[in-house]
Every structure is written in structure tokens, then in C-alpha cells.
């Protein structure tokens, strides 16, 4: 059995005094029971654009409100579904996003923990190669993205809410 999935997610950034941080999520992998650090993402609902999905999934999985800055290259991979054994061809459209409000927390219970992490160190923490490459691409463009993060510049010890 084979199927296709199309998801979208975000690389949520915020500027803090010491640089730029990215929102990361930690969960227990359904297939291996291993703990893994990943980016927030999820399946695109019928009638929903990838951008809308990214904004929704970020909010649902992390408790953060963010806006899309730019489209990142699509990530493609295959995996065996632990539920039905199907070979799944998956496409994930990621977006660089600017944090606008909220404190990181496992909002919908899908993630075990959500946290801010220094952008330059994040690729080494991410479990999946495609997500590491995605964050590396954002890191390479961070100076171009900094002006877009200006509205979200806050002291990390304060809450925007």
C-alpha cells in the first residue's frame, strides 16, 4: 500500500538580545519511541493553503502566534507508516516565520515540550535531515530576515500577551 501526504510547517524566529532563536518541539516518535526534536508541522486540511496550515499548526503545536515571512524549499521524504505499514511519500512546505505572541508550550498535546533555542545551534539538535537543511537555509539568510523580525523584538523574559 502507498499513499501521499502534504504538510506545512514553520521555522518560527524571534530576535532576542543575544541573537535569534527558533521555536523547537520535542516529541516521542510514534515509529521508534525515541525522543526527537523537530519543527512544528502538520497535514494540510481540505480547502486550506499551505501558508494557512503552517500558521495553524504552529499555533496548535507550540502555542505561538507567528506570521509567514517567506517560503522555504520543500522537503520530500518517504517513510513506512507505523499505523498501517503503508509507504508514504511526504512533501512538507516550510516557511520562515516571525514570532508575534505567545509563550512556547505543548498546546495540543502532540508535542512533549516546546522551547526557544539559539538558531545557530539548532541544526545539530534536530533529528531529521530535511529539517536540519531547512534551518541551515534560514540561518544562511538570517541577516536578510532580521528587519522582518523587528516587530517581534522583545526581552525574552517578558510575555507579549
Give the pLDDT confidence of 35-91 residue by residue, as tens digits. 899 999 999 999 999 999 999 999 999 999 999 999 999 999 998 887 888 999 999
* Least-confidence region, from 52-61, 71-80, 120-129, 146-155: 146-155
Each residue's pLDDT tens digit, 107-119: 777 889 999 999 9
Domains in the chain (CATH in brackets) are 2-149 (3.90.79.10)
Query: Looking at residue 157, what is its pLDDT?
Result: 46
Q: Is the dihedral of CA 74, 78, 81, 86 positive or negative?
A: positive
Amino acid at each position: 500500500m502507498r499513499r501521499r501526504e502534504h504538510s506545512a510547517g514553520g521555522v518560527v524566529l524571534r530576535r532576542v538580545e543575544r541573537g535569534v532563536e527558533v521555536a523547537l518541539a520535542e516529541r516521542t516518535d510514534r515509529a521508534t519511541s525515541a525522543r526527537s526534536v523537530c519543527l512544528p508541522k502538520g497535514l494540510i486540511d481540505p480547502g486550506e493553503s499551505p501558508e494557512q496550515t503552517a500558521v495553524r499548526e504552529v499555533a496548535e503545536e507550540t502555542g505561538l502566534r507567528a506570521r509567514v515571512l517567506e517560503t522555504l524549499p520543500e522537503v520530500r521524504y518517504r517513510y513506512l507508516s507505523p499505523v498501517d505499514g503503508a509507504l508514504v511519500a511526504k512533501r512538507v512546505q516550510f516557511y520562515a516565520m516571525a514570532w508575534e505572541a505567545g509563550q512556547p508550550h505543548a498546546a495540543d498535546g502532540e508535542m512533549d515540550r516546546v522551547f526557544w533555542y539559539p538558531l545557530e545551534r539548532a541544526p545539530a539538535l534536530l533529528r531529521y535531515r530535511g529539517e536540519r537543511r531547512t534551518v541551515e537555509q534560514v540561518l544562511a539568510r538570517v541577516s536578510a530576515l532580521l528587519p522582518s523580525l523587528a516587530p517581534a523584538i522583545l526581552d525574552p523574559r517578558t510575555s507579549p500577551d
